[in-house]
Amino acid sequence: MSKNNEIEAKIILPEQVYQQLCGDFNIKTCFTQENYYFDTNNGLLKDNNISCRIRLFDNSAEQTLKVPHQNPVQQKFHEATEINDSLPLEQAQNLIKQSAQRQEISFSGNVGHFLQSHFAAASQLHLQTYSKTKRILAVGPQDCELTFDKSQYPDGYQDYELEIENPDPELIKAVLAKLKDKYHIVQNFSNTNQAKIARAFKHRGKM
């Protein structure tokens, strides 16, 4: 289990800028992941600004809650408390399959403990939507790690995203300023700090 404070800048990019970034920075690793998002049918977690997901990798999995941070250290970037539990891949796949078939499932570990402690309807969570992402981790300015994501959603829609996650918000600010200047990235409300879960709900089509 891990519990950490997540501070990150997130910007949805034009495909051309995404391709430029991928070509210009040294890549540390590249992998695919699948994100499956859970909520009650009436959006209980969404109403409390909480997201719940199971993430699948090639040989492992994890379950995660993102909850609002009670004492954020900054206001400019997205900040949340992230609660993670590792899962065996087969167990995670079975949970997703059972929920997709409208069977009742329960989350265990620290994620389950939080849900059961805060919500009487914790047993009513169901799979609502998903995203599939190709993720590239690269070495950016000032040795700050950059994340480049290409994601696809249930209706076939794709988008491209830059994420800069770091415990130092001043470093995020400095690195982001350099990238915006060099690649002419324009930030606005519609492309900034837009969570994948929100885009997955918007583009879930007919599951």
Q: For tokens 């265990």, name the residue.
A: 108
Closest CA to 128 of 194, 36, 33: 36
Q: What are phi and psi of 181, to 5 degrees?
A: -70, -45
The pLDDT of residue 33: 98
DSSP 8-state assignment for residue 192: B
The pLDDT of residue 84: 96
Look up the CATH number of the domain holding residue 17. 2.40.320.10
Q: How many angstroms separate the CA atoms of 109 and 87, rounded?
A: 10
Where residue 153 falls (left for φ over 0; alpha for ψ -120 to 50; beta otherwise) is: beta
The residue segments making up the domain with residue 85 are: 2-202
Residue 114 included in any domain? yes
Where residue 49 falls (left for φ over 0; alpha for ψ -120 to 50; beta otherwise) is: left
Q: Which residue stretches of the chain have pLDDT < 70?
A: 1, 207
The pLDDT of residue 70: 81
Residue 124 included in any domain? yes
Residue 30 included in any domain? yes
The pLDDT of residue 100: 92
The pLDDT of residue 69: 85
pLDDT tens figures, 24-42: 999 999 999 999 999 999 9
Helix orientation angle between 15-24 and 169-183, rounded to the nearest 10 degrees: 110
The pLDDT of residue 76: 87
Neighbours of 77 (CB within 10 A): 20
DSSP helix/strand/coil, 23: helix
The pLDDT of residue 67: 96
The pLDDT of residue 169: 95
Contacts of 9 (CB under 8 A, 6+ apart): 77, 78, 162, 163, 164, 172, 176, 193
Residue 172 included in any domain? yes
Count of domains for the chain: 1
Residue 108 included in any domain? yes
pTM of the model: 0.94
Residue 207 included in any domain? no
The pLDDT of residue 1: 54
